[in-house]
Amino acid sequence: MVSIDARQLSATEINRKIKEVAETSGEITILNPQARHNIAVGVLKPCKINVEGSVGYYGASLMDGPEVHISGNAGWALGENLMGGKITVTKDAGASVAASMRDGDIYVGRNVGARAGISMKGGTLLVGGNSGFLTGFMMQKGRIIVCGDVGDAVGDSMYEGVIYIGGEIGSLGADAREEEISEGELIELWDVLEQHGITEKPRFRKIVSEKKLYHFDTLERLEMSAV
Amino acid sequence: MCGISGIMYKNARRDGLANVGGDLVKMLDSLAHRGRDSTGFTVVGEQFDEDLIVRLWTEDANNSELALSNVEEAIGRVGGVVITKRSWGDFLRFTVNYEGEVPRLAEALMNTDGVVIHSIGEVSEVVKDIGVASDMEDKHHISKLRGTHGIGHVRMATESKVDITHSHPFWAYPFTDVTVVHNGQLTNYHKLKRHYQTMGHRFLTENDSELIAVYLADKLANGDKLESALSQSLDDLDGTFTYLVSTKDGMGVAKDRWAAKPLVTMQTDDVVAVASEEIALRSVFTDEELDRVEPQESEVLTWSV
């Protein structure tokens, strides 16, 4: 396994080292990241990346395939545009975690900031603690699971996808509504939690789109040609 | 985008002043990517022999002797006595004994040709200049400034021109020791500025962030506690903001209802630090295990020495 000290390297150099390791599907450990931005960005092949400490903005973003474990915090836009793979953060993440993610899994052990899962288009975002304002803002697909509380305007302007909340809800956003959760879904969620070592079994509440804000009956041009 | 940071040694009045200037230089240097137009500091807490510290800027660096004597004359005219005076480049610093009303002194200085007031404080002073923190060190020796607490700012200008006077922190004319650094944009600036002008307040710049300083100082002067003034500002100020305020014995932060601008905090029993990004906190705290907390929307936090 390769191990590098981030203190002596620029973000570009760090990412170059990671990509070298990814070429052989290897494993790399990054020491002393010092909450710097753009660590592990643009890695498009499966590999294992361990970060010993906090990362700044856009940590593990624009990624497809790797398994990233961050022992610390992440700044804004962790896992932005994730196409596939898995990201774990042991402590907190900032605002806009999982922004526009398309697939894969992101797990944050504790709290996240505002706009978690903004414009999310697939995959699963699991938050062990609380999530801030505008959770799931304009999400289009995928699943957000928050074990703790969420702030105001959860699910605001969401198109599709599901938000599950284990704790208190500040308020529902525009065009979001609560739907009855089935026992089957609960068991499935608890199973996801157990996979991440969470033993609690919250009675999750389920938030979906009311679908009154947008015209869902209008087909996209490509869809029309398929009809 | 801009970057803000602040640090307070909560027990410094008991344990002795800390290297607040040095900490702020480190924090702001690590935030330089958030704005390289200008950098500024307020360091608070040193008890001077004189009544007031006055920091000014002169538009004519080649004639700073004239500026020094004009300012001294203005201070004398309102009954103040200059104890020390110093100029370097286009910057002036005075220590003054003065028992009159500070607004009267501020007015006299404001009417002095060719100089702009950066701060009048009993226990604080503002240092601000063009460029990044490390560039300023040789010129202003900020890391030698000791105190109980301080705030700082790196600027990427969006709302008004790039010059020293439009740099942060903004002093709340004419209230001693109240200064503000702000990341964001106020959208009801002109309306509120006119409101405060009709109440008799003066503004030294065209920068929207100066309004926050005047707004808070006005509330504090009317007897509000820092925390309630900050909470009220969440309703009264429109736009996006995370701002920090420093007063004689306190430091506070307010984050707008959209949580649009970042801030993280870290603290121990002795020290609390806040900054736009964790990278700045890591530059002063060596304990890797220390938790950092990101305040949420509409959150107000205050600390005092």
Radius of gyration of chain A (CA): 18
Question: Cα separation of A62 and B176, whole Å?
Answer: 49
Mean pLDDT of the region A34-49: 96
Residue A214 is predicted with a pLDDT of 78
Amino acid found at A24: T
What value does the mean pLDDT of chain B take? 95
Q: How deeply is A101 buried, as exposed, middle or buried, from its count of CB atoms within 10 A (0-12, 13-18, 19+)? A: buried
| CB < 8 Å to A34, chain B | 279, 282
Closest Cα in chain B to A32: B288
Give the position of tokens 């009159």: B100
Mean pLDDT of the region B31-53: 96
Of B281, B288, B297, the CB nearest to A132: B297
Cβ of residue B289 closer than 8 Å to a chain A Cβ: no
CA A14 to chain CA centroid, Å, is 23
Half-sphere exposure of B179 (CA within 13 A, CB side): 33
How does residue A203 score in pLDDT terms, banded at 50, 70 and 90? Answer: very high
In Å, what is the CA distance from A204 to each residue of A83, A159, B82?
27, 21, 68
B2: annotated active-site residue: yes
Q: How many residues does chain B have?
A: 305
Q: How many CB atoms lie within 10 A of CB B144?
A: 11
Mean pLDDT of the region A200-211: 96
Cβ of residue B262 closer than 8 Å to a chain A Cβ: yes
B265 near B292, Cβ under 8 Å?
yes
Cβ of residue B277 closer than 8 Å to a chain A Cβ: yes
Q: How many CB atoms lie within 10 A of CB A168?
A: 11
Radius of gyration of chain B (CA): 18
Question: Cα separation of A185 and B179, whole Å?
Answer: 53
* Best mutation target, A89, A133, A150, to test chain B (most B CBs within 10 A): A133
Cβ of residue B296 closer than 8 Å to a chain A Cβ: yes
| CB < 8 Å to A35, chain B | 277-279, 281-282
B112 near B70, Cβ under 8 Å?
yes
How does residue B22 score in pLDDT terms, banded at 50, 70 and 90? Answer: very high
Q: For residue B199, which of B224, B182, B180, B174 has the smallest C-alpha distance?
A: B174
pTM higher than 0.90 for the full model? yes
Residue B135 is predicted with a pLDDT of 87
pLDDT of residue A216 exceeding 70, the answer is no
Amino acid found at A59: G
Closest Cα in chain A to B280: A35
Mean pLDDT of the region A65-69: 98
Bridging pattern class, strands A205-209 and A176-179: antiparallel
Residue B288 is predicted with a pLDDT of 80
pLDDT of residue B160 exceeding 80, the answer is no
How does residue A227 score in pLDDT terms, banded at 50, 70 and 90? Answer: low
Least confident among A27-31, A60-64, B34-38, B161-165: B161-165
